[in-house]
Every structure is written in structure tokens, then in C-alpha cells.
Amino acid sequence: MNTKTLFYIFKRVLLAIVTIWIVITITFFVMHAVPGGPFLGEKAISAEAQAALEAKYGLDKPLWEQYITYLTDIVTKFNFGPSLKQRGRQVIDIIMDGMKTSAKLGLIAAVSAAVVGIVLGAVAALRRNTVLDKIIMVITTAFVSMPSFIMGSLLLIIFSVKLGWVPANGASEGGLILPIITLGLYPMAYITRLTRSSMLDVLGQDYIRTARAKGVSGGKIIFGHALKNSLIPVITYFGPMLAFIVTGSMVVEQIFAVPGIGRQFVSSITNRDYMMIMGTTIFLASLIVIMNLITDILYKVVDPRIEFD
Amino acid sequence: MLHANKPFSLQLNPEAFLPATDAEKEYISRMRPSSTFFKDGVRRLIKNRVALVSFILIVLITVASIVLPYVWPYKYDQMLGMTPGKPANSSYNNLSPFTYGAKEQERIEAGEKVFPHIFGTDAHGRDYFIRVVYGTRISLAVGFFASIIVLIIGLTIGSIAGYAGGKVDLIIMRIVDIIYSLPDMLVIILLSVVLGQVLHVEGTILEKIGANIISMFIVFGLLYWVSMARLIRGQILSLREQEYVLAAQATGAKGRWVIMKHLLPNCISVVIISTALQIPNAIFTESFLSFLGLGVNAPMPSLGSLASDALNGITSYTYRLVIPAIVICLIVLSLNLFGDGLRDAFDPKLNA
């Protein structure tokens, strides 16, 4: 790894830190624009809790001082303050609780979307302009044009209400199957289309013809040359895919009653649990920013042709 | 032309100066009317079956969603079981398609004609067909206006950054980089939650639109202009180096004039295409926010809010989810396909 690469990585890490800081700042000040500030729900909380909150966050102090306290608490202690609606619980504990389920859900969905998408995309590219290719393209186009909450509801109607194959409740045994499918279909369709077009691009390159001309076997060309090189653009989608899965999980966990972070977030919006909204937004946003950072660095490291500016 | 028989003679051939005959004129006249870039693009677009069908579908849906609410006998917020001064008649609630409420049944038996409820009614006794039509109108309007806002802001900032260059460009592009790396959906949700509380639109002309939709527009204006600005900046950076811009500057054209008359017209096709592809994006976002309860204000419907309302009675009234779902998919799919067609037809780089 040369200095140029290191400098690029350094620059990207710096940008990511600035972005996370901006997210925290925006979240804090935007939430304080709400009449009464984020610490007051619609209903008044108990007097002691109110006093404790005021003492902890120094509500009598000027806004910028409160901001510094909130920021240092997050940076040094990873502490997002207490929840307003779930008495006696810290926001970070609720987030970590939800993350256990959501991380499993998202990870399985992402991995299966990548595997199925790459296989389908490669098949479509290798069998270009056949009926199989057309079918794959039509189906993936349909999946890409369908909002995930509609996809989820339709799957729910078909497979658990009408057919009764899987439970509708995500918390029960086998209940995560439908949420995983719902969450994975859009990225799967996207990756299929991405793989197909980049594979078609690679198959037209001179080095594939050279490999063929010197008698390399078909399988070796596909797996050793074509697939390997056509996966590079697919890497760029990993960051956006995580962002999609995070927002998608809000919908999916709501529909299938999965006890995850997305559902917690949505219910904190409905209850106006401002501390929860702030904490979850910052947590998920940082997750996405870090994933984007990793994606970018990976992309530049994997593909030596990329220029550093 | 020199005399053919004497190649080195300076004597001119008098025949070359004779007036052209009709046959000769015919020979050099144009074989077909000249074609402009726009005409060529339209011709290519019409040839593309998929794009043409998608376009017709979009036009049909748009016209229907604008016209139908005026001619339909029911209103989107009219609860049919409610008559002023009388207790609510629950026989109008949750009607199946093509069935009627108690009063309407009596009128039919009396020989009167009653306009059918094609999709039945919802839980509040409102005609579901007109709610879907009206929701389509709202969703389309949100998508359209959001894209226009994005277009205007992105166009202005992108062309300034591209044309000015230097420090201005550097500062704008750093801001763009940061906004680009913000997780947009989370920021949209955050701003929608707060703006819905902070904005007070009661009593103004904006009241009918509702605070949520206005906050959605604000959010779109704040966040989504960046990709448009990037695109236009890139276009202008490459166009700026062209000779005709130098020629315009040499004859004393000011920056504004060069941007408006020379640079923007030349990147207009790229701009139109990405605006067209922005609309389905906005419709997606609106339906997502409606699903989270941050979308349009009740009783106004949007396709997203209709679908999310339908989730409550999903087992007994499945069609109430399926209908708006189909409409959303149709709109988004045809807009995407039409946008792809536009790109194929109008992107000069692809034609080369």
C-alpha cells in the first residue's frame, strides 16, 4: 500500500468523522427546535424524573453547553441518555437489545441477497437475450419498483394468512423467514441487475477473448476472469445496501412484529420519545457512514485501476 | 473548374458558369427535411415500444387522477353514512365492491339509479375508488413538485459551482460531499418529525397541503439537490472548455449569459432524464413516510397512506392493500421505464 492510498484512507476517515459529528449536531439542534425541547413528552413526566433530567442535562444552562454535554457523553461513554417512555431504561440498552434481532435479520438478508443476486446476474449475463435472461430481468424490475412495505404485506397475506406456511409473528419460531425475504428482495434484484451489466461489460473485454484464444476452459474463464472482475462494481453497492436494510427494517419489523431496532424506532416516533429518536438516529446514521467508509476503501483497494485524486 | 482537356490552362470553362438546369437542382436539393436533435430524440423515443407504452400509461393515470375527482359523484372525504343532524348509519362502512348502504338500497328498490362503489367503501364509509384516485393525484403531485424543487436548487448551485470553479467550486463540493454522505432516510424522518411539530400552517393558504407534505418538500429541497448539482457541475465543467464558450467570452458575454444561453441548453437532456428518474424516487419516499405515519394529514389520502391504512384489515379486506399497491407499482415502473427510454433517446453520448 503506497502513501497515496494511505492518504486517501486518511481523508475518507476524516470525512466520515466529520459526517458523524454533523449528524449528531443536526439531530441535537433540530430536536431542540421542538416546542418544549426533546426532554418533554406530550404528557409531563414525573417531577423527580424531570428534576433528574434537568440536573443531568443542565436544562437551565445555555443550549451550547447542553450540546457539549450530550456530545461528550456519546463520544466518551457511548451514552445517549435515558428513554422518556420506557422508564428507567437507557437509550443505548434499548438499541443494543433491538440490534440483537435486527443485526441477525439484516445480515442474513444482505448475505442471501448478495449470493442469489450475483448468481442470477451472472446467469442472466451468460445467457444473454434468452428467455431465462428476459424472465430474470422482468422479475427484478418488478421487485425494484415495489416499496418494501407493500412487498412485505403481500408476502404476509400469501404465505402466512392464506397458505399458513409460516407464522405471521416475527418473534415466533421460523417467523424471521418472511422478514428476511422481504428485506432481501430489493437488494437481491438490484445486485442482479448490477452484476448482469458489469458482467456483460467484462465479457466484452479483450482479455476474455485472449483467455479463450489460448484455450482456457469455459469454467475457468467465467469464475477466474469474468466473475471476479465484474464483482468490483457490486462492492460499491454494499454501503447503500446497508442503508436500505436499515430503513427497510423499520417497515419490515413493523409489519411482522419483529422486536428489533426498526420497530423501536418507529414506535419512538409515534410516542414522541425524543431521546430515543435522537439516539437511534445517531446510532444508525453512524453505522451507515462507517459502512460507506469501509465500502469506499475496499473498492479502491480491490481495484488497482481506480485513480486517487 | 479548369478546362478539362487542358489541365494546366488558366482559361476558365464557360460551361461552369451556366445557370443550373432543373435536373441539376433536383440532384443537390436535400433528400429529406433536416432533423434537429430534439426531433431525432422524439423519433427514437416513439420507436421504443416500452417507453411509449409507459408514457401513455403515465399520461392516462395523470389525466384520470386530475379529472375524475371533478366528475365523480362522491368526494374523497365524504362519509356516506353521515347525514347532518342524524346518527351515523354504519351500513355504509366497509362495503364490499358493488354493494350499497341502507339508504342506497331503498333508492335502488324504488327504481332509482345509484352510482356503484366500484371498490366498495373504507372503514369510515368513504368511497374507496375516489380515495385511490385522489391518493394517486397526491402521490403524483408530491413526486412532481419534489423533483421540480430538486431540479431548481441543483441546477442553480451546480451551474454556479461548475462555471465559477476555484474556491467557490471547492466549498460547494465539500458541502455536497458531506450532504451526500448523510444517511438521507434517517435525516428525512428526523426532519419530518420535527417540522411537523414546528411548522404552523393553520390559517394560511398552505393549510390544505398540510405540514407533513410541506416538510417533505423542505427535506427534499435540503437533501436531494446534491446529486443533481454534481451531475450539472460535471456537465458544465466539460462544456466550459468548448471553443464556442471561449468565442462567446471573447465577444464580451457575461457569466450569466454564457450559463443560460450556452451551457444549460447543452446539458438539458441529462437534466430532464435525471428529473424524470427523480419522480419515482420521491413517490417511494412519500409512501414510506406515510407508512411511518409521517405522510399526508388525514383525511387526505395518498397511495402510501391508503396502503398502510389497509394493513389493519389486511385479512378481510386484502383488495384495499392490493389496489393502491398496484397503482404505486404501475406509476413507479412506468416512470422508470420511460426515464430509461428518455435516456436512450436523448443522451447524445449513448448515440455516438
**Is the pLDDT assigned to residue A171 strictly greater than 80?**
no
**Is the pLDDT assigned to residue B1 strictly greater than 50?**
no
Closest in B194, B328, B333 to A150, CB measured: B328
Give the pLDDT band of residue A191 (cuts 50, 70, 90). very high
**In B, which residues are within 8 Å of A16 by CB distance?**
181
Q: Answer yes or no: do B293 and A144 touch at CB < 8 A.
A: no
In a domain, B280, yes or no: yes
In a domain, B103, yes or no: no
Place of cell 448515440: B351
How many angstroms separate the CA of residue A113 from the nearest CA in chain B?
21
In a domain, B155, yes or no: yes
Q: Partners of A82 in the beta sheet? A: A90
Q: Answer yes or no: do A147 and B284 touch at CB < 8 A.
A: yes
A144, closest residue in chain B (CA to CA): B333
**Is the pLDDT assigned to residue B349 strictly greater than 60?**
no
A14, closest residue in chain B (CA to CA): B178
pLDDT number for residue A59: 66
Average pLDDT over residues A208-233: 84
Mean pLDDT rounded to a whole number for chain B: 80
How many angstroms separate the CA of residue A161 from the nearest CA in chain B?
7
Q: Answer yes or no: do A23 and B292 touch at CB < 8 A.
A: no
**Which of A144-153, A283-292, B302-311 is modeled with the greatest confidence?**
A283-292
**Is the pLDDT assigned to residue B352 strictly greater than 50?**
no
pLDDT number for residue B351: 46
Q: Answer yes or no: do A153 and B287 touch at CB < 8 A.
A: no
Q: What residues of chain A have any CB closer than 8 angstroms to a CB in chain B? A: 15-16, 18-19, 22-23, 26-27, 30-31, 33-35, 141-142, 144-147, 149-150, 153-154, 156-157, 161, 243, 246-247, 250-251, 254-255, 266, 269-270, 272, 277, 281, 284-285, 288-289, 292
What is the C-alpha R_g of chain B?
Answer: 29
In a domain, B99, yes or no: no
Cell numbers found for residue A9: 484512507
| Alpha-carbon distances, residue B302 vs B65, B75, B237 (angstroms) | 12, 15, 40
In a domain, B211, yes or no: yes
* Chain B contact probe: residue of A14, A140, A141, A153 with most B CBs at under 10 A: A153
Chain A and chain B share a number of CB contacts under 8 A equal to: 117
Cell numbers found for residue A102: 435486527
Average pLDDT over residues B49-62: 90
Question: Between helices B211-223 and B184-198, what is the axis angle to 10°?
Answer: 140
What is the per-residue pLDDT across A39-56, written as a single tens digit (0 to 9) for each?
A: 555 455 667 766 776 676
How many angstroms separate the CA of residue A152 from the nearest CA in chain B?
11
pLDDT number for residue A110: 92
In a domain, B117, yes or no: no
CA distance A293 to A15: 9
CATH code: domain A94-274 is 1.10.3720.10
Closest in A27, A150, A281 to B325, CB measured: A150
The total number of structural domains that make up chain B = 1
A288, closest residue in chain B (CA to CA): B183
Lowest mean pLDDT among A76-85, A285-294, B185-194, B200-209: B200-209
pLDDT number for residue A256: 85
Give the pLDDT band of residue A309 (cuts 50, 70, 90). very low
Q: CA-based angle B207:B209:B211, to the nearest 5?
A: 70
Q: Answer yes or no: do A157 and B292 touch at CB < 8 A.
A: no
Q: Answer yes or no: do A35 and B189 touch at CB < 8 A.
A: no
Closest in B307, B322, B333 to A149, CB measured: B307
What is the per-residue pLDDT across A26-42, written as a single tens digit (0 to 9) for each?
A: 888 888 877 666 555 54
ipTM of the complex: 0.76
| Alpha-carbon distances, residue A54 vs A261, A280, B162 (angstroms) | 27, 21, 49
Q: Which residues form the domain of B298?
A: 132-346
pLDDT number for residue B31: 65
Average pLDDT over residues B42-63: 88
Q: What residues of chain B have any CB closer than 8 angstroms to a CB in chain A? A: 177-178, 181-187, 189-191, 193-194, 197-198, 280, 284, 287-288, 291-294, 304, 307-308, 310-311, 314-315, 318, 321-322, 325, 328-329, 332-333, 336-337
Give the pLDDT band of residue B221 (cuts 50, 70, 90). confident
B120 — alpha (psi -120 to 50), left (phi > 0) or beta? left
Q: Answer yes or no: do B177 and A147 touch at CB < 8 A.
A: no
Give the pLDDT band of residue B240 (cuts 50, 70, 90). confident
Average pLDDT over residues A271-285: 85
Closest in B193, B321, B332 to A277, CB measured: B193
**In A, which residues are within 8 Å of B328 by CB distance?**
146-147, 150
The CATH number for B306's domain is 1.10.3720.10
Where is pLDDT greater, at B84 or B254? B254
Q: What is the DSSP string of chain A?
A: --HHHHHHHHHHHHHHHHHHHHHHHHHHHHHTTSTT-TT--SSPPPHHHHHHHHHHHTTTS-HHHHHHHHHHHHHHH----B-SSSTT-BHHHHHHHHHHHHHHHHHHHHHHHHHHHHHHHHHHHHTTTSHHHHHHHHHHHHHHTS-HHHHHHHHIIIIIIIS--S-S-TTSTTTTHHHHHHHHHHHHHHHHHHHHHHHHHHHTSHHHHHHHHTT--HHHIIIIIIIHHHTHHHHTTHHHHHHHHHHHHHHHHHHTT--SHHHHHHHHHHHT-HHHHHHHHHHHHHHHHHHHHHHHHHHHHH-TTPPP-
